[in-house]
Amino acid sequence: MAGRGTVGDVDRETHPRIFALKPDHSWGPAGDPLHWDKPNIVGVGPGLQFAKEMAQRNPEVRIGLIPTAVGGSSIRVWVPSAVHPQTGTHPWDDAVSRTFRVLALEGGELKGVIWHQGESDRRDFSEQYSDALVDLVDRMRVEFRSPDLPFIAAQLSSFLDEPLPGSAAINEAIASLPERLPHTAFVSGDGFKHKGDEVHLDAASERELGRRFAEAMSELIQPE
């Protein structure tokens, strides 16, 4: 979700109605890389392209991105007080704190969540992943007092099925999310390319993922 794609000129292009929350909690024009979880390797992720697509579909709104991804983290550390050992961060607590700051102090409105994670859980947590994902969404909705909060989860890339056994099981769990919870959706991981390491998406694939997120979110939030 944080993204490891190589940053190009198109990824640095800002949009007058798209902003990102920085590490110091200040707002600034959104440009890749959005995240800072691993500064030496962070790159293009799906978030900026997602926002650009949503801005095009909704010309009357301003969009504020709240980056909270922690690359390589298990869904098991996305619970209160848990620590991600590799970065020494508290993924759940940090995400909740940053989001509440925007909601409480700046009058923002949380419109939805996009989620791309699961590789770290494929070896020994794939059977429990579906329940853990449902629990994550439920907790977010309780925390932010938003029972219908839109939540879009992306599957792992299909090229991971062979080198990373267990990925298919994670993808099945992600695909089952809309069957278990309303106001959720998933996007396919098919057709993407890696950046040469057989693990991380290249920049073009990250942008396409952002487009898929936007299409799914637009369908989810349209009036019934």
pLDDT of 75-111, one tens digit each? 999 999 999 999 999 999 999 999 999 988 877 889 9
Please compute the mean of the pLDDT values over residues 43-51 and round it to a whole number. 97
Banded pLDDT at 223 (limits 50, 70, 90): low
Q: Nearest-CA neighbor of 46 among 123, 141, 178, 152?
A: 152
Tell me how far apart the alpha carbons of residues 223 and 173 are, in angstroms, rounded to a whole number.
27
Tell me how far apart the alpha carbons of residues 221 and 112 are, in angstroms, rounded to a whole number.
9
Query: Does the global pTM surpass 0.85?
Result: yes
- Write down the architecture of domain 9-221 according to CATH: 3-Layer(aba) Sandwich (3.40)
Q: Are 67 and 102 in contact (CB under 8 A)?
A: no
Q: Are 193 and 201 in contact (CB under 8 A)?
A: yes
